[in-house]
Amino acid sequence: MARPKEFDRDVALEAALSVFREHGYAATSAGMLTDAMKIGRQSLYDTFGDKWQLYRAAVQRYGDAESHAHLEALATGPKAIDGLHVMMARVVAEAHMACLGIGSITEFGVSREELNQLHVAAGRVLKNAVAKRVGEAQQQGDLPAALDAGDAAAFLLANVAAIRLTARAGAEEGELRALSRLAMKALY
């Protein structure tokens, strides 16, 4: 008779996400994962399939959580421009924590279709939400009407990635805040 699982799958997945976030896929061993997840190797395979499937699940969970947090930030403030500023401030505040989304892109590029699908889906939702807020900020008179909202959204999201990479390279928070300010200023 098989023993029932004695761990919380979500807690274990969060632990794995933290390991992948810090070390990436290739540099993460099964031992590192089982230690962090506080489960045995067989439980890892029985529950998640293999290291790759666990990684994909972690990237999916991370992408969902980040997208949700960005969308919440965008929705704050009485004006659309406020939400854009809050989103960028959130990025700066959390930039020193490794980003699994950027990590997976830098590690795999577009070589893994399963990851591409996750990145494209999350990116589309976020870009559309940012573009919508840019459009609203234009209607409210806070951004120039001539600005292309889609291009502005792509620009801001590229700067989100740049801020996170710059933080990972050791930049101080003041420099990250300056990068965020300049990205926003470029929209005006």
Could you report the per-residue pLDDT of 100-136, keeping only the tens digit for each? 999 999 999 999 999 999 999 999 999 999 999 999 9
Mean pLDDT of 150-177: 97
CA 33 to CA 17: how far, in whole Å?
A: 9
What is residue 2's predicted lDDT score, i.e. its pLDDT?
52
3-state secondary structure of 37: helix
- pLDDT at residue 31 greater than cutoff 90: yes
- Tokens, residue 10: 């979500």
pLDDT band at 7 (very low <50, low <70, confident <90, very high): confident
Domain boundaries, the chain: 58-187
Percent of the chain with pLDDT over 70: 97
Helices within the chain (DSSP H only): 9-23, 30-37, 41-48, 51-74, 80-94, 100-108, 113-139, 149-168, 173-187
Question: CA angle at residue 127 from 124 to 130, to 5 degrees?
Answer: 150
What is residue 6's predicted lDDT score, i.e. its pLDDT?
74
Mean pLDDT of 59-81: 96
* Tens-digit pLDDT profile for residues 34-60: 999 999 999 999 999 999 999 999 999
Q: Options 3.30.750.200, 2.40.30.20, 1.10.357.10, 3.40.50.300; which CATH number does 58-187 get?
A: 1.10.357.10
Residue among 38, 39, 33 nearest 20 (CA): 33
What is residue 1's predicted lDDT score, i.e. its pLDDT?
45
